[in-house]
Amino acid sequence: MSIPGGMLGVAWPSMRETFAVPLDALGTLLLVSTGGHICMSFLFGWLNDRLGFGKLLLGSNVLVVIGLLGYLLSPGWWPLVGVGFISGMGLGAIDSGLNAYFAVNHNARLMNWLHACFGLGVTIGPMIMTAVLTRNLSWRVGYGVAVGLQLLVVVLMVLTQHRWPQVGESAGGDDAGGETAVSASSIFRMGIIWLSMGVFFLVAGHESAVGNWIFTLLNEGRGVAVATAGLWTSLYWGSFTIGRIFFGLFADRMDTNRLLRINLLAVAAGTALIWLNLTHWLTFAGLAVVGFALAPIFPLLVLETPRRISARFANSAIGFQVGAAGIGLSVFPGLTGIFAERFGIESIGSSLLLWAVLLFGLHEG
């Protein structure tokens, strides 16, 4: 599910030429796709109770295939934006479902490794798209590869349907049973939910803004060659993946709050190196630090949800948090693009630093 997301940042300069849209139009695409993501995230608990986790996950993967086919075949900009909503719906349900399942049934190690698999996908995605573009092929070829890979996932889901929780079997495990009696309004009355959603909003927003705009900043703003900028975009996600594998090995033995604080400081420091633009190599080092430090934050926050709130509320609470993260996925790249259009591409670095500082401040506040 994460390979297409990794492709977008590298493909965007070519896509906007194809459709003759301005630099900040990426924000529109992300906003609409995030709308689909949010809808399914907030409806996850309700849909899971009625369809069963296995069927919901299969249907969601089919939606992603339909959306990616739209990227591959879209004749114009607005049809592309429309299919972005469809793919966003599929991704929202998959995201919420897998996070809820792992949060209740598994430990910090496996939760980090689940998210490491996400990081592996967004590492491979830019590599695929860079290979396509450096061979003077259309960006659509990259999305054709993504369609093929997602179809393989659908086939695997069909073959393994009997292994997934069905109707009446909670994706969140036995402790999550009875959540059907919990209303969304009762969850929203908990102050901790709003604070938690705000942190998820900023974590995902910063992560996405870096991934979607670093290629443009390096290539169009700082004159870094296409192949090099694409490589470093992949290495950002690569450090992200390595970080999740690393922290997966040791997270169970670490104090979660202390680890989160240290990593959020490292995110701000690495982003400052990108903003300062002292040398290309220091910028690349800052990018690697940001990816590595961001790695455990999202999975650890998800994992803590059943403990902070109650396993009984886990499916809906995690759905709301993932929904907030989905909003951040579009809002912060969108704002970064608006600032870049109005103040110049170099303002991307300033925007990224602002998001990192806000994230640290909200978490510590």
- Angle of CA points 50, 52, 58, to nearest 5°: 120
Residue 339: C-alpha distances to residues 197, 312, 332, 343, 347 (Å): 25, 42, 11, 6, 7
0.75 exceeded by the pTM?
Answer: no
Handedness of CA 337, 342, 344, 349 (dihedral sign): negative
What is the pLDDT, as a whole number, of residue 178?
A: 44
- Please give the DSSP secondary-structure letter assigned to residue 61: H
Token pair of 290 as six digits: 């940001």
Closest CA to 326 of 9, 37, 26, 57: 37
For residues 83 and 140, the answer to whether their CB atoms sit within 8 Å is: no
What pLDDT does 252 receive?
Answer: 74
Q: What is the pLDDT of residue 184?
A: 60
Instruction: Identify the pLDDT of residue 62.
Output: 96
Number of domains in the chain: 1
Instruction: Compute φ and ψ for 178, nearest 5 degrees.
Output: 90, 5
Q: Is 164 helix (H, G, I), strand (E, B) or coil?
A: coil
Q: Cα(313)–Cα(184) distance, rounded to whole angstroms?
A: 10
Task: Determine the Cα–Cα distance for residues 316 and 325; give it in Å rounded to an integer.
Answer: 14
Domain interval for residue 188: 3-364
Residue 175: the pLDDT is 46
Domain of 335, CATH number, reads 1.20.1250.20
Average pLDDT of each block of 10 consecutive residues along the chain (365 residues)?
86 94 88 88 81 88 96 95 95 86 77 81 88 95 96 93 66 47 62 84 94 92 92 88 85 82 96 95 96 91 74 72 84 91 94 96 86
Query: Distance between terminal CA atoms of the chain?
Result: 33
DSSP code of residue 106: S
Could you tell me which of 348, 16, 66 has the C-alpha nearest to residue 208?
A: 348
